[in-house]
Copies of this chain bind each other. A is one copy, B any other.
Amino acid sequence: MAKQDMSEAELDARHAEKMKKKKAARDKIMATKTIEKGLLIVHTGKGKGKSTAGFGMIFRALGHGMKVAVVQFVKGRIETGERMALEKFSDQVTIRRMGEGFTWETQNRQRDIAAARQAWETAKELISSREHSIVLLDELNIVLRYDYVPIGEVVDFLRDEKPDDVHVVITGRNAKDELIEIADLVTEMTQIKHPFRSGVKPQIGIEY
């Protein structure tokens, strides 16, 4: 019988049956998922939401009472909303800020290289310490793209030295293939529509 010819009661019955099957299928699949491990997560792509979702994970973990760390590789953005919100959880969160804004703001390559190198050393220490359940390396991909820190060095550390019980989240557009290769979870944020195109300016709570 076609859906449009069904009575509400028939639709309800069909729905219950369909959902029951879906649930059974899902339960069966999830029963096979038994491994627990610290994941390497990458948010990349040209769309919005890469860092925002990274910070969303950080806040979710804070809600659970977990300890987290954030290393900011490029943006000065953390000064604003996220930073003020993170202050409510000051006993659970470690923040290390490097760089002084977007690279096209500084125009000083040697200073950027030094800052990136220092941020990466800090990131390694925070991850290795195992004191934080999640370490967010915000905008690391930009640093890797400019080769301010060699991708080989980053891949070697994350693959061979990252403790098994620490999640690492890396954000930034243009994630390198070598990083995607060793990652457990990769999401690409794709821009479908952006308000700047209609002349809308960056707004509080939205862009910063």
Contacts and interface: CB of A to CB of B under 8 A. Distances in A.
Interface of A: 8, 11-12, 15-16, 19-20, 22-23, 26, 29-30, 32-37, 39, 41-43, 45, 47-49, 51-57, 59-66, 80-89, 103-110, 133-134, 167, 180, 183-196, 198-206, 208
24 contacts: A8-B110, A23-B104, A23-B107, A33-B196, A33-B202, A34-B199, A36-B200, A36-B201, A52-B56, A55-B56, A59-B85, A60-B205, A61-B205, A62-B81, A63-B80, A63-B87, A64-B80, A64-B84, A64-B205, A134-B205, A184-B193, A184-B198, A188-B190, A190-B190
Nearest to A146: B15
A20 B106 CA distance: 9
B192 A109 contact: no
Contacts of A189: 49, 53, 187-190
B104 A83 contact: no
Contacts of A64: 80-81, 84, 204-205
Nearest to A13: B109
Most chain B CB inside 10 Å of its own CB: which residue of A19, A22, A84, A88: A19
Contacts of A104: 19-20, 22-23, 26
A154 B57 CA distance: 29
A55 B81 CA distance: 13
Most chain B CB inside 10 Å of its own CB: which residue of A36, A190, A206: A206
A203 B38 CA distance: 9
A85 B108 contact: no
Contacts of A62: 81, 85
Contacts of A208: 60
